[in-house]
A and B are shown apart, each in its own frame.
Chain A
């Protein structure tokens, strides 16, 4: 069965002019046609690689609402992660997310493309490891080390809140930051207590509005950037209950794009949260 499945893949690789077997081993030290298939991969690849190394990024990368590398991504070829798009680009390194575009990744694996799959780290060590892994795959170890060093330096500057404040993160559709996730680690690093741990959440991390209202959070963490195109998910964060919570307690606005992905920008989120918490403590 496996052989039968491999045959079309081999035929395809041959047709494309690739030596199918052992292709990964022959890849040069510096890949020169890197294709990224995940927004979080885009962010690291665009920061660590030379621009000439990048063959394509995702269609999400140049949207300033969701991406932290929108400026760097302008003008680059974009894909939506479809197999045909990726194969046609003839990449010598594909960087994919462990949970996105699974069909394409499966095909690329069968054909034997050099592939790097990025997991979702849930602590700062995981972030450092992921930066180093991507940098090594790109042949840019020095940049990776520098990025990790800058990340640690930024974290070291952070003065955590004196008193552990209770924080509630609210994202569109009343999603929160689950305990044990990277977001939770960010809150802890800023000296905050994630009240989501006490709340009833569904298995996707959605908090009922009633539970959010009674959470007694000292700090409400929202993305209050410029309102984009309307959606019910965003409208929910302007429910009168949230408006009342905003008036009662302290709100800090952190753009969601800064902590969607593990990367050096995570240290900025820690710094902003800690500053907001200290501001709350001061009076």
Chain B
């Protein structure tokens, strides 16, 4: 089941990457980053089944960091929305040359 899990994780990671690149909605882009993190977690768990429990410990830390990242990132999105009244990333042009 290891090879199948790795293929599945690769597929989910690629779909998440595509989502980050093609979508403009900041919340959806963020959701696609979570999708990528989830694919990496799946890889860790698949390998830890055969190598040892440390992979699962690492997934635990990845989940904790993902939770912290989601809280801070969504706070930034709220803060930007208050300023621009939109979450479309093409509208955020203040730092663009």
**A and B bound?**
no
Q: Which residues of A contact B (CB under 8 A)?
A: none
